Structure formats: structure tokens, C-alpha cells
Amino acid sequence: LRTVTGVQTCALPICVYIAAHDLHHEMRAEHECREYNVELVSVIHPAAIVSPLAAIGRNVFVGAGASVGPLAQLGDFVRVLAGASVAHHSSVGRGSRITDGARIAGHCTVGAGVLVGLNACVNAHVNVGDDCVLVSGAAAIAPIPSRSVLRSDGKVYQRPS
């Protein structure tokens, strides 16, 4: 530690991972971290498989048994939970949650703020818009517009504004 103009500082960078219950709280914490020059880091479980060719954003979590394929892109604040997978050439937008056992096939785009429920899947080449919910067990076989809910019976509903 050293003192600069009466304030004690550390010569090493300060790094944190923010684990909040929702994206709004994470964004507020991110703002505070920026204010104090605190670097956000990502956490990858030792039992996860992440391709060295994947692009991982800031404050990303990849859980045990999860996999992220080559040329996949995970935006900031993304969560890929236990046993979930994001295949090659797919992208997941800022703050999206890929929950336990969910599958994102190759060449997909999942927008920002999306929740992909337990064991839900997004088929190859399918795009999911921002702020969508794919309920547990749902299968996205066609594009899903922003602010939609995909039910497990395949019906798509617009979320209220």
C-alpha cells in the first residue's frame, strides 16, 4: 500500500466478480466499480469447457459442466449455468442467463437480457430478440421477436410493455 495525497492506495489492481440477483443491481454495481477503478473479472468453473477461440465478456460466469464452443461470444454479465452449452459461432447478449441444461446450438444469436429456462434449447441458426423468456423445456425452432415469451408448447406471446 502507498499513500497519495493522504489516500491509501494499492499498487495491485483490484478485481471483483459481481453476483447480484438481477441485472439492474449488477449494472448499478458496475457503475460503482467504474467510479473506483475496480476491474470486473469473469469466473469460469474448473469443470467447465471453454474454447480458447471463444470471446468472453466482463463479469461472465460459466458453471460446472457448461461448455462454450469455438468462436462463441458471451457479452458482459452473461451467466451460463451448470450443464448448459453455447455452441460454435453463437452469441449471447449482455446480461442474458442460460440456465441449467439449456442448449444454444451453432450460429445462433441470443439478444440482451434473455432468460433461457432449464433444459430449453435454441436450434441452429435461430435468433432470439432482446428481453425474451424461453420457459423451461421450450424449443426455439424459429426466430423469436424481442420482448416475447416462448412457452414449452411452442406458442410465442409478446410481453407487456
Per-residue pLDDT of the chain (161 residues; tens, 9 = 90+): 344 455 555 556 678 888 877 777 888 888 888 888 888 899 999 999 999 999 999 999 999 999 999 999 999 999 999 999 999 999 999 999 999 999 999 999 999 999 999 999 999 999 999 999 999 999 999 999 999 999 999 999 998 87
Amino acid at 98: I
CA pair distance 71, 88, nearest whole angstrom: 6
Is the pTM value of this prediction over 0.85? yes
Look at residue 101 in the predicted model and tell me its pLDDT: 97
Q: Could you tell me which of 106, 112, 103, 109 has the C-alpha nearest to residue 138?
A: 103
Look at residue 6 in the predicted model and tell me its pLDDT: 52
Q: Nearest 5°: CA angle at 112, between 108 and 113?
A: 120
The distance of Cα 129 from the centroid of its chain, to the nearest Å, equals 14
